Amino acid sequence: MQSTIEQSRAGERPLTQRVALVTGVGPGLGRACAVALAQAGADVAICDVDTATLEATRAAVEAEGAQCLAVRCNVSSSVDVQGMFSRLTERFGTLHILVNNAALTPNRPEDARRRNIHYGYVTTPVPRQSLGFTSGMSDEDWQRYWGVNVHGVFHCTREALRLMEPQRYGRIVNVASIAGISPMSAHSPHYSASKGAVIAFSKSLAAEVAGANIYVNVLAPGGVATPEFNAYLGSLGEEARNRLWQMVPSGRLGTPEEYASTVIHLAGDHYLVGQVISPNGGAVI
C-alpha cells in the first residue's frame, strides 16, 4: 500500500516534502522554474543579486502556497554561497533539488552587434570569411563569464552535495545552453565556452555521485522568450526577424514555462544520469 507521501508525489504535486534551490531568479527561466517547483509541491529557496527581482519571485512562489526563502547572493563568491546555504539549512534543514540557473548572458551593445553580424552571415548568401569575433576579444570580455557561469555552478554544487551525500538523495539540474553544444552562438565564443564547461563538469559529476542516488543532468535551452530576448527581437526589422526564424524549424522561441516543465521532470523520479537535454524548437537535432 502506498504511503501518503508516495500517493501525493504520484499525483499533481510530485515534489511534496522536497526542498529546492533555484539560483538566478529574474523574469524568465529562473522565475518560471521557481514557480513550477512550488506548483509541484516543493518548498523553494531562491537567490539573485537583484533585490527587486528576489522579492517579485518570492511573491510568485508564495502565491502557489509554498514556503520561500529569498537570499541576495552572488554565486561567484564562495563566501556568499556558504552564507546562503547556512540560511537554507537553518530554515529547511536540508536540500533535495538544486537548479543552477544563474548566469551572465551576452547583452551588451557589442554583443548585439556581433549577434546581428552572425545571424546575417548564416541566413543570407554572402562570401565566406572569418567573422573576427575571437581575435578581437579582450581578456576582460573573455574572463567576465567564468565567475558566475562556471565558478558559481561549482560553488553551489559543492555546498549542495554536502547535504545530499549524507542523505543519499539529490537532483541537480545545471542550466547550460544550446551555445555549449552547437555553433548557434558563434557570435559569443566566451559565453559558449562557459556553457560548454558547465556541460563537461556536469557529466563528470554525474558519474561521480550517481551511486549515492544523486542524479545530475543538464538543461541546454535554445532561445528563451525572456523580456531581454524579446526586446532584442523588437529592435530588429521584420526582414531580419524572418531570417532569424529560418534557423529555428518551430519558428519561435520557447517559453520559460515550457523549459521549466523539463526541469520539473529532472527534479523528480527518473533514470536520467549525466544527460544533456536541449529543448530548442529543432534548431539543433
Could you tell me what percentage of the chain is helix, strand and coil, using 3-state DSSP and rounding each to the nearest 5? 50, 15, 35
| Beta-ladder partners of 71 | 47
Inter-axis angle of helices 109-123 and 238-245, nearest 10: 70
Catalytic positions: 191
Q: Measure the CA angle with vertex 249, ends 273 and 174; round to 5°.
A: 25
CA 80 to CA 189: how far, in whole Å?
A: 28
Helix (H, G, I), strand (E, B) or coil at 283: coil
Nearest 10 degrees: Cα torsion 73, 42, 94, 208 = -90
